[in-house]
Every structure is written in C-alpha cells, then in structure tokens.
Chains A and B, each alone.
Chain A
C-alpha cells in the first residue's frame, strides 16, 4: 500500500495517494489519543513509522489544494510528531511551512502569520517565508505590518540583489494597489530603475511604470506635479531594444560567471565540487533567460502606445507644443504603427489649438489621404474646411466642405456644413449661390435645427443682391414666422434699408426711430443710426445727418461701421466748412479711442481743419501731443505716421521769422545780444522741441523718432542727401530694439542702398523676428531678398520673395517684392515662372514708372531665354520708345534689341539700332553704350 501511495503521489494523483494513505492509517488501527481541549498526545515510539505516512498525506492534500484537510493533517502531524522525524529532520519545518501556506490559501491569513514567523529565522526559509508573510499580513488587513516587514528587510545589509528585486516587486504592488501611497511607489520605481540590471522581468517593470503613470493621471484632479510625476514614470519604461540588451547582458553575465568558475576549476580540479554545481545552476538559469529572450523578441513595439500616453500627459498640462512633438515622433519613427492614426489626429488638434493653421491644414490633408474612412475622418473633414474658413480662404473652404458632403454621408455636421457653405457664398457676395445653398439645406432638412438661420440669411442674400422686393417679402415672412426669433431686430433694420433703397427716406427714418424705441441699444444700433444719417444726407438735412453719424460712430461695435460713420460726418462738416466741429469730433474720438487704428487719419483731419482755421500751431501742437504720449514705445506704429504728417506741416509751413528791431536805447546786456546773428526759425529745431519729452537720455526710441522726424522733414524739403545721412546716423546710434517697425525698415533700406548690406541685415532680421505680425514686415523680406539677389544668392533671394508673396506678407513693398521675385526666377533660369510676375508688374497701373519699364525689359529677357528673339525684340523696342524717362533701362533695351537683331540675322537692323543708341546723348555714360560701340565695330569688320 505504501508503494502504491508513493506511486500515486509521484504521478500527481494526490486524491488516490490520500485515499491509500488513509487506508494505511486505518489498517494500522492507529487511533490518536485525545488529551485536554481536543489536543492529541504525541505518538508512541512504536507508532513513529507512521510519520512519513502523515507527512505524505498532508502533502497530498496540500498539492490537491484541499486546504482544510491539509491543515487538519498537518496539525495532527505536529501533535503526533512534535519533534519531527529523526530520519527526516527537515519534515517538521516543511510541515510548518506547508501548514502556513495552507492556512493562507485557505483564507485564514491570521493563523498563518505565527507559523511563517516561526520559520523566518531559518536560513533556508527566510527569503521565501518573508514574501509570504508579507502577503499574509496584507490578507489579514495588516497592511502597515506587511509594508514595514518588507521595508525593514530591504534595509538589512548585504541583501541578495535578486531577492531585493522580489521584495521591490511586492512592495510596489502594496504601495500602489493596497495603500495608495503613490509617492512611495514612485521612489521605489526610481530605485528599481537605477538597478535595472537586476530586474529579472523588465516587461513587468515597464507595466508597473506605466500603471503608476496612468494612476497619476486620473480624469479629475490633474495637477502639474502629478503630470510631471507621470511623465517621469513613463520615461523609465525600457523600449524593445533596451529590454533585449538587458536580457542579453544578463545571459552574458552568467556566461562570464560560468567562464570564471571554469577557469578556477581548471586551476584546481580537486577542490571544484561546489563550482561545478554552481555552473550547473548557471546553465539552468541561462536556459531560462534564453527562453525569456526569445519571448521578448516577439514583443510588439513598446514605444508607440507609451508615446501616446506621454502626449496625453503633455496635453493635460496644456503643453501643446510638447504633445505635438511627441505625436510627430510617433509618426516619424513608426509611420505604420496602429497608433499612427491617433497620433496624426492628435497632431491636428494640437496645432489647431496652437493656431498653427498651415500645419493643421497640411495634417488634415495627410489624414484624409491616409485614412479616408478613418475614425476621425468626419471631424478632420470638418476641421479642414473650418481652418480654411478661419483664414478666409473661402474657395478652399467650400471645396473642403463640399468634399465632406460628397464623401462623408454619415458626417454628423452635414447640416452645419450646408449652412456654412451658404454663409461663405454670402461673404463672397455670390448671392444667388448663397440662396441656392440655403435652399439646398431647406430641401435636405425641412425641419432642421438651422432652418431659421437659413431663412433669414436667404433674405439677406436677396437684399445684398439688389432683389429688394423679394428681400422685403422674405424679411416679412421671417418676422411673421419667428416673431421671437434670433434675428428680429436685424430684420426690422433691414426692412428700413429696403425703404432707403427705394428712396423712401422719411419712411426709413420713421422705421429707424421706431426701431430705436423698440430695441434700444441692441445690435445693430450703430447701423440704424448710420442708416438715419444716410437718409438725412440724402434729404440734404446735413445737421441731422451729422448728428446721426456721430451717434453711429459712438455706438459702433466694428471698425467698418465706425470709420464709415465718422468720415461720413467729417465729409458733411467739411462741405459746410465747419472746421471747428471737425476738430471737436475727432478730438472726442481720440480721447475715447486712444489706441484705435483710426487715430492717425483722425489726427490728419484735425491738422487739416486747424490749418483751415488758421491754427497751424495748434495743429502741430495737437499732433505732437499725441505722438509724445507713445514716443518711446517702438511697438506703437501709428506714432511714425503722425510724425510724418507733422514733419510735412513743418516743411510746408516754414516761414522765417524776421529779427526784431532793437530798441532805441538798449541796455549793455542787450547790446551783446544785438551783435549776435539774427534769430531764424529752424523747422528741424522746432520739430525737435515740440516732440521732446522729459528724460530723453534714457529714451532711445524717442530720440530715434525725433531724428526720424528730421529725416522726414528733409524728405519733404527734397533734401534727400540729408535724409539719408540722418538715417545712417540712426543706424550708428541706435540698436535695432530701439526702433519701431517703420524705422527699422527705413534704416535697413537706407543701409542697403548705401552699400552696407551686412549692417542692413541686422535691422531687417530684427524687424522680421520681432514684428512678424506688422504690416511693415515686408520691408524685411524685400530688403533681405534684394541683398541676396545683389549678392547673386538667388536661392536665398527666392526664399525671401516667395515667402512674402505666398504668405500674403507683401503690402507696402508688394511691387518691389513681385519684381524681385520675377528677376530672381529669371536669374534661376525659370523664365516661364518669371513671365506672369513681370506681366503683373507691367500691367498694374498703380505701379507705373521705372518698375514698369524694367518689367517690360525683362519680358524681353524672358523671350530671349526661350529663344524667341523676335518677340523679345518687340519688348526691347517698346522700352526704348515708351520709357525714355529711365535712360538706364533704355540703354539696356537698346543693346539687347541690337543683340536680338543679330541673333535673327538681321544685321542692318542691328547696326541701325546700335547707331541710334550712340546718337542719343542721354545714354552716352552707360556701359551698354560702350558695348554697343564695340558691337558696331565688330559688325562693320564683318
């Protein structure tokens, strides 16, 4: 029976083993003798043969996870054999250990604790018991004891690194899952990270780091500290390559340990027993590690999902640039990973929130190309249109929105999109198309949420499109249907507009008055006043009109309405020569809107009105007072415009003041004065005096502006050399940060034109960097482009010019930039691209002058480059016939015309052209004339 029980046990048939062992006990007629309190007496010596039977019986129950019977049997064993077995002394400790575990697994953690504690001192049991004891304490609800036990063990000296790693893994779980002590978990993670070489399972370490990071980022209670801590956890995660390297390193370490042992064995074979056993263990360990390595080699990429978490953490921290960087890195490193779509969408959202519209647009496009049916396709489709709409690129916006309607039948924003398309058409003044779009909406969604909006905007489109009768009908229909609607006040105002259009001025005024009574200061009150002004003006009731316009300008919410009304009033006052009223109106305006862009034209009006009133000095004083307020602030660009106007006043109104006649009897002190040169009023000094503010020495921008005022004065006085000299002085005296955008541009241009490109670049670069939103930034693009062009760095020149043109930055320098870009493209041998730009310059009436002559000349050059000599010649001839005012261009055109004739084989015509050029005395000094002479000589020889 004993053999049968052993066989059953060894083959894992624990139930059978238990049955047979019970039978052995039964057949032995052994009956435990009960003593006090249910205890049983120790076995008699003749019963000790039963010790292995009870031992194996307990083990059978234990292995079969029959905890109650295992506990009962082991308890019996302890009482029967309190000293264990002489033959197998290890049995008693094994029984205690198993009993403790059975109690723990059987749900009686409290009972297991003293048993584990009793084993803790045994060297063979310490390490395994400690972790179970900690677990028992945890299960018994004694979490503090569990943690204290492990922390105490960690602090003990010479702890085995592998055991330490096991303790750390358990402690981490206790900190994070059971006690919620995230700070301790973080500290522990740092410790494990610092000794990663001893972390057996790096994937588990990764999982712990990620779990802790996630725990620190709950959806509520986000703090900057938690985000930073979460990022810190995520950053400790090892990637696939690092995991493999660590695992390989562990294997290599074992192999080296084995090699070292081997060397010692070879050196001393007789005493090598333990070393050989150690090497066997190492071989087993290497085998296990190699299996783990093989598993690690099949792990999916760890970083993409981790990076998504990092990006989320940055987004929660409102660090959108950082999250955009992370998304970009996912897409750069793992363009095909399953997180790529989410990363691309995340990028779009980040850049949209960062107002990086161009980038967001490009990414939207990329998303829709890669994932036309993707999970975010609807949102991205809408966003792409909305971004184009926000930048007022209406054609693109419509195209994108139409694309959504066509390709995204389930897009939840279809209704909104149809209305937006109508609104865009309305803004584009394509009224019939707007009406059609709104009609499409009403057809597609007869009970749609946006019906009221589309009906009202249809009426507006009719009105703006001049279909006043239909508009009136639509407006009345709207008012009847939506008596409490969102647009009733606006509709009532539009009905008054219809009457105005129908020249029913009196009726329109009455409607406006009724409107004001009913709606008070609701929107569009300013427009209502403005309409009243228009009606009164149409009735030649100028006083009432002016009053209405002024009220409109005061109520205006938009610059458009404000400007329209205030200047309409000004023009009416001007018509009536009411200069004082003009001054008063604009002074009131400036007082109430000191930073408004209209301040500059307002000052101009005041200046003109004061001059009409004979108050030139007052005009000057007023302008100077206004300029002085912000004289030292380089960001106030309007100050420079005021200074220009002020300088103009000083230039045009300069009258020398005659010296006063000396009194008949002068005091000795006055005699000296009378010997001095007669006092002459100097406008430059006056200008300086009127603009001077206190403490000028510490106000570089103010000092620069006073110099600029003098430069402008010189310009108005046609003293261009003086103007240039002052600007050059400014370049020497001031740093770029002292100057306003206009001054930076002026100084830069002056330096560039006077052959100091490197110095000019400093000012242009500052302008470009510091005032990239200023309308004057095109000075920098033009200046830097021209410098590059002159230095024959055409690639660089093209970059500046094309950037200015493509990004719509060219404004006051549009002509120069367009021409510069065209010349650059020609120099880069891209005549086909240059041609339309030259044509644009040549055909723009406002740019007529030397630029036109040059463009026509270059159109000839384009044709020459394309080998079309006759066509080229037509342009050259046009230049020297029509643009004689520009002899430098004319000289170039003559020479090239002769060359074109030569290329066409028309030598007599070439000779005539060169001869005609030589006869023109205005062209004698140009190098082209010498070239023409040379060509003529050459042809004569032929």
Chain B
C-alpha cells in the first residue's frame, strides 16, 4: 500500500472564533490576548477597560480550560501538504506543536490536532518511525474521537496488510466510525486503492467517487480521488468517462502531480487513436 499524506480538517464554521479566554475552576472567565506557559503558571495577556494590556498569571491547577482559536499553522501546513511540500509543512507545524505541548495538560489546547498534522507530514517524508512514535504519543494523550480516528487512519495506512480484504475491512471500520471529511476522504481513497489492487475496478471506482461526490470542496485529496476514478473508468473500458475525469483533474488541479499523470494518459490515448 502506498503511503499517502494526511490532513487534519477544520470545520469551516469554527473559523469565526472569538478571542481567547481562560475558564477558571472558580467559574470565572478571563478574556486574553495570548498565553505563555511558565512552569506551573499560565501567563495570560489581558486587556484592561482602558484598552491597555498586561500579564496576569494563573496557577495551572486553578485553570479549568482554555478557549483558543485553531493555530494558523494548521491550515497553512495542510495547504502545504496538499501541494506536496511536506518538508515546508513540517517546518510550519512543528513550532505550533511545540507551543501547544507546553499547555497540553490544560483542556482546550490544540496539541493533538497539530500533532496529527505533524505525523502526516512525517509520514509523507517517509519518516515512518517518527510519525508512528508521535501517533502513539497522541493516542496516549487524546480522547477526542476525531483525533483518534485520524491516528487510527494513520496507523491503518502504514500497516502492511498481507490480505487486501483485511485492509478493506479496516478502512470500512474507519469509515463507519468517522464523520470527519478528511479522514473519510483518506479512508475511501485507501479503500479504492485496495480494490484497485484486487482488480475490483467497479468497487474501486465507487470508493474514489465517494470522495468526489461527498467531499468536493477545499479537499486537498481530490486530485488523488479523481486520478483513481479516471484509472478505474479506464479499467472498466469506460473511455469517455475516463477522459472526462482526466480533463477535469487537469483543469481543476493543474499543478498537482496527478494532473501530470492524467496528461500522460490522455496523450497515450491520443497516440493510440
């Protein structure tokens, strides 16, 4: 099974998050402009009524949770992974992971989510051991079902299945447990690949099309799904749909590696005719 990249998905609806806040165990909510960790203190930058700023320290033991917007690096790193720029994505996400790790004992932090993206980048760079070590660390820490299904997916993708049917069953299990579009996209594509290897091209096609039909927007995995669909159509001797899919891939994602493959396929076809 080919190792592929993984992206963590951020709900569009969360994008308009308000300022950061600290919820103390006393029930008090503290709005803050930013945080830093200093030993067992959480230092919050706060605004006064006169619009001035200052730092207030809170014992971590007194903090119930923090409310933080998603780090910008999450989206940036995901975009870079989508473009195949894995090393840059890693460089982008690592500082965020490091910072989030300093507050990961406080509920509301983004460590697990950012660490999943780092694992994905590492995996794409074929640094499998480091990726899996991080995945193990995430699994030991996070209880978020979406994070766990993402790590499970990463594990499933790296697992060397002797039997493709076992692989398909594993992907099916992931699909039935997850509602995250990126996890689902990844799992459907992996399932499509497994069916394709098994020469079950109709099943493969349906798996790839599930991605193009249900998760067509802002999905960095779409070029892979379109490429898989085009290949499956070709194997099913549906040349018209194969060509249409390749053309769609080329026009929609001209810079993707899959677009180059699609161009080559169309050229091959032209030569034959």
Are A and B associated in one complex? yes
Judged by a CB distance under 8 angstroms, whether B39 is at the interface is no
Judged by a CB distance under 8 angstroms, whether A286 is at the interface is no
With A196-B13, A197-B16, A321-B206 as given contacts, are A268 and B214 in contact (CB-CB < 8 Å)?
Answer: no
Distance in angstroms from A302 CB to nearest chain B CB is 14
Write out the residue numbers on chain B whose beta carbons fall within 8 Å of the beta carbon of A321. 205-206, 209, 241
Judged by a CB distance under 8 angstroms, whether A246 is at the interface is yes
Judged by a CB distance under 8 angstroms, whether B106 is at the interface is no
Q: How far is the CA of A245 from the CA of B202 in the complex (A)?
A: 36
Q: Which of A98-106, A325-333, A461-469 contacts B (4 or more CB under 8 A)?
A: A325-333
Interface residues of B in 66-92 (CB under 8 A from A): 67
A226-263 Cβ-contact flags toward B at 8 Å (1 or 0): 00000000010000011001100100010011011011
Judged by a CB distance under 8 angstroms, whether B5 is at the interface is no
Q: How far is the CA of A765 from the CA of B199 in the complex (A)?
A: 9
Write out the residue numbers on chain A whose beta carbons fall within 8 Å of the beta carbon of B202. 356, 359
Write out the residue numbers on chain A whose beta carbons fall within 8 Å of the beta carbon of B61. none
Distance in angstroms from B227 CB to nearest chain A CB is 16
Judged by a CB distance under 8 angstroms, whether A544 is at the interface is no
With A249-B14, A256-B31, A259-B29 as given contacts, are A264 and B49 in contact (CB-CB < 8 Å)?
Answer: yes
Judged by a CB distance under 8 angstroms, whether B60 is at the interface is no
Q: Which residue of B lies closest to A267 (CB)?
A: B49
Name the contact of A325 in the complex, choosing from B11, B48, B209 (C-beta under 8 A).
B209
Interface residues of A in 298-333 (CB under 8 A from B): 310, 314, 321-322, 324-326, 328-329, 332
Judged by a CB distance under 8 angstroms, whether B18 is at the interface is yes
Name the contact of A322 in the complex, choosing from B12, B67, B201, B213 (C-beta under 8 A).
B213
Judged by a CB distance under 8 angstroms, whether B152 is at the interface is no
Interface residues of B in 202-244 (CB under 8 A from A): 202, 205-206, 209-210, 212-214, 216-217, 235, 237, 241
With A245-B11, A769-B199 as given contacts, are A256 and B67 in contact (CB-CB < 8 Å)?
Answer: yes
Distance in angstroms from B135 CB to nearest chain A CB is 26
- A197 near B30: Cβ-Cβ < 8 Å: no
Write out the residue numbers on chain B whose beta carbons fall within 8 Å of the beta carbon of A235. 216-217
With A326-B213, A329-B210 as given contacts, are A769 and B13 in contact (CB-CB < 8 Å)?
Answer: no
Distance in angstroms from B45 CB to nearest chain A CB is 14
With A267-B49, A324-B206, A768-B199 as given contacts, are A196 and B12 in contact (CB-CB < 8 Å)?
Answer: yes
- By CB atoms of chain A within 10 A, which of B48, B49, B67, B214 has the most? B49
Write out the residue numbers on chain A whose beta carbons fall within 8 Å of the beta carbon of B201. 769
Q: Which residue of B lies closest to A324 (CB)?
A: B206
Q: How far is the CA of A259 from the CA of B202 in the complex (A)?
A: 56
Distance in angstroms from B236 CB to nearest chain A CB is 9
- A249 near B13: Cβ-Cβ < 8 Å: yes
Name the contact of B235 in the complex, choosing from A314, A329, A769 (C-beta under 8 A).
A769
Write out the residue numbers on chain A whose beta carbons fall within 8 Å of the beta carbon of B30. 263
Q: How far is the CA of A321 from the CA of B240 in the complex (A)?
A: 13
Distance in angstroms from A546 CB to nearest chain B CB is 41
Q: Which residue of B lies closest to A307 (CB)?
A: B214
- B13 near A262: Cβ-Cβ < 8 Å: no
A393-419 Cβ-contact flags toward B at 8 Å (1 or 0): 000000000000000000000000000
A556-595 Cβ-contact flags toward B at 8 Å (1 or 0): 0000000000000000000000000000000000000000
Q: How far is the CA of A310 from the CA of B215 in the complex (A)?
A: 13
Q: How far is the CA of A521 from the CA of B30 in the complex (A)?
A: 96
Q: How far is the CA of A267 from the CA of B16 in the complex (A)?
A: 27
Write out the residue numbers on chain B whose beta carbons fall within 8 Å of the beta carbon of A196. 12-13
- A325 near B21: Cβ-Cβ < 8 Å: no
- A325 near B29: Cβ-Cβ < 8 Å: no
Q: How far is the CA of A195 from the CA of B13 in the complex (A)?
A: 8
Judged by a CB distance under 8 angstroms, whether A795 is at the interface is yes
B170-203 Cβ-contact flags toward A at 8 Å (1 or 0): 0000001001000000000000000000010110
Sorting the interface of chain A by its residue count into under 10, 10 to 19, 20 to 34 or 35 or more gives: 35 or more
Name the contact of A259 in the complex, choosing from B21, B179, B206, B209 (C-beta under 8 A).
B21
Q: Which residue of A lies closest to B175 (CB)?
A: A332
Judged by a CB distance under 8 angstroms, whether B163 is at the interface is yes
Name the contact of A197 in the complex, choosing from B13, B31, B67, B235 (C-beta under 8 A).
B13
Q: How far is the CA of A271 from the CA of B179 in the complex (A)?
A: 48
- B19 near A260: Cβ-Cβ < 8 Å: yes
Q: How far is the CA of A246 from the CA of B12 in the complex (A)?
A: 10
Write out the residue numbers on chain A whose beta carbons fall within 8 Å of the beta carbon of B216. 235
Name the contact of B29 in the complex, choosing from A262, A772, A773 (C-beta under 8 A).
A262
Write out the residue numbers on chain A whose beta carbons fall within 8 Å of the beta carbon of B18. 253, 256-257
Q: Which residue of A lies closest to B29 (CB)?
A: A259
- By CB atoms of chain B within 10 A, which of A267, A325, A772 has the most? A325
B15-47 Cβ-contact flags toward A at 8 Å (1 or 0): 110110100000001110000000000000000
- By CB atoms of chain A within 10 A, which of B14, B18, B201, B212 has the most? B18
Write out the residue numbers on chain A whose beta carbons fall within 8 Å of the beta carbon of B48. 267
Write out the residue numbers on chain A whose beta carbons fall within 8 Å of the beta carbon of B15. 197
Write out the residue numbers on chain B whose beta carbons fall within 8 Å of the beta carbon of A329. 210, 213-214
Q: How far is the CA of A242 from the CA of B209 in the complex (A)?
A: 23
- B209 near A322: Cβ-Cβ < 8 Å: yes
Q: How far is the CA of A310 from the CA of B210 in the complex (A)?
A: 13
Write out the residue numbers on chain B whose beta carbons fall within 8 Å of the beta carbon of A257. 18
Q: Which residue of B lies closest to A359 (CB)?
A: B202
Distance in angstroms from A201 CB to nearest chain B CB is 15
B140-180 Cβ-contact flags toward A at 8 Å (1 or 0): 00000000000000000000000100000000000010010
Which A residues are closer than 8 A to B by beta carbons?
195-198, 235, 241-242, 245-246, 249, 253, 256-257, 259-260, 262-264, 267-268, 271, 310, 314, 321-322, 324-326, 328-329, 332, 356, 359, 765, 768-770, 772-773, 795-796
16 A-B contact pairs sorted by A residue (CB < 8 Å): A195-B16, A198-B16, A242-B11, A245-B13, A249-B13, A253-B18, A256-B67, A257-B18, A259-B31, A271-B49, A322-B209, A324-B206, A325-B206, A326-B213, A765-B199, A772-B237
Sample of 9 further A-B pairs with CB below 8 A, known A325-B210, A326-B213:
A196-B12, A196-B13, A256-B18, A260-B31, A314-B213, A321-B206, A321-B241, A770-B235, A796-B163
Which B residues are closer than 8 A to A by beta carbons?
11-16, 18-19, 21, 29-31, 48-49, 67, 163, 176, 179, 199, 201-202, 205-206, 209-210, 212-214, 216-217, 235, 237, 241
Q: Which 10 residue pairs are nearest across A and B when measured between Cβ atoms?
A: A259-B29, A197-B16, A268-B49, A260-B31, A325-B209, A264-B49, A267-B49, A256-B18, A322-B213, A325-B213
